[in-house]
Amino acid sequence: MVREITIGQYYYAESVIHRLDPRVKLMGTLIYVIALFIVNNILGYLAIALVLSAVIRLSKVPLKFIVKGLRAVMIVLLLTVSLNLFLTPGLQLVHFWIFTITLEGVKTSVFMALRLVMLIMGCSIMTLTTTPNNLTDGLEKSLKFLEVVKVPVHEVAMMMSIALRFIPILLEETDKIMKAQAARGADFETGGVIKRAKNMVPILVPLFVSAFRRANDLAMAMEARCYRGGTGRTKMKPLRYQRNDIISYCFMAVFMVVVILISTFATLPFERF
């Protein structure tokens, strides 16, 4: 499962999405998330799914690579869907033992499953097509206005970028530790919840030690290169909008308007019941 987590990884490819300004991708991700929480009918989800599939195709990132990241959150997804399916009051469809399935519960659970799946897939596109350095520059440039209220924008962007960069490193380290402990006879698959939690101790201790060591090495490397924050720093490759970036912003505006109109006025016949 550790190797199936794709968040924080970068997939190299020559595509239009990869060449977009990171600020465009950050804004696009924000609009995409807002749209997912605005839609309330099947037509809205179909429209978002169509746009998501087009973006994935343009990014040239294999669909199986993106879908692979869903396996790591499958338990959370199933738990969320089950809670909405059995605990939502409404028109009763099926009742067995202490569980009741209602029409509203089915609708809510289906929408919640679609929302979570598309949320994870859509947000993964941003990290898969944006390098940590570009992501830092994009965040810093996008949040520049917060410097007026004394928010350390550069430092915040740097911390977020480092956190994203460390995710695949720590996952790889976890996988190595698990294999090493399994070779020594450790068992992580059998037993109850308490026993499995205790069996995780031989993994967590060396993982934390390794994480602190890497953090210390990174701090020493930054200090050796005279890093003193963002004040007065210049960029070797300053961000500048290109023609495709302007077109992408226009597409985002049209996409948001369409989603709002569909959510407000469009409904399918079976959704009225």
Tell me the C-alpha distance between 186 and 179, whole Å.
Answer: 9
SS3 content of the chain, % helix, strand, coil (to 5): 70, 5, 25
Tell me the C-alpha distance between 19 and 32, whole Å.
Answer: 19
Residues 221 and 148 in one domain: yes
Mean pLDDT split into 10-residue runs, the chain, 273 residues = 60 89 92 90 89 92 81 78 78 74 81 87 87 82 82 80 78 83 75 72 84 88 80 74 92 92 69 49
Two structure tokens written together for 250: 């226009």
Q: Does the predicted TM-score (pTM) go above 0.85?
A: no
Q: What amino acid occupies position 108? A: T
CA-only gyration radius of the chain, Å: 22
Residues 22 and 121 in one domain: yes
Cα–Cα separations (whole angstroms), residue 58 to 13, 176, 244, 255: 10, 34, 13, 17
Residues 201 and 249 in one domain: no
- Work out how many domains the chain is built from and give that number: 2
Q: How many CB atoms lie within 10 A of CB 56?
A: 20
Residues of the domain holding 185: 135-239
Residues 62 and 102 in one domain: yes
CB neighbour list of residue 75: distance below 8 Å, 6 or more residues apart? none
Residues 21 and 108 in one domain: yes
Residues 143 and 121 in one domain: no
Residues 140 and 232 in one domain: yes
Q: At what angle do helices 132-142 and 22-38 cross, to 10 degrees?
A: 70
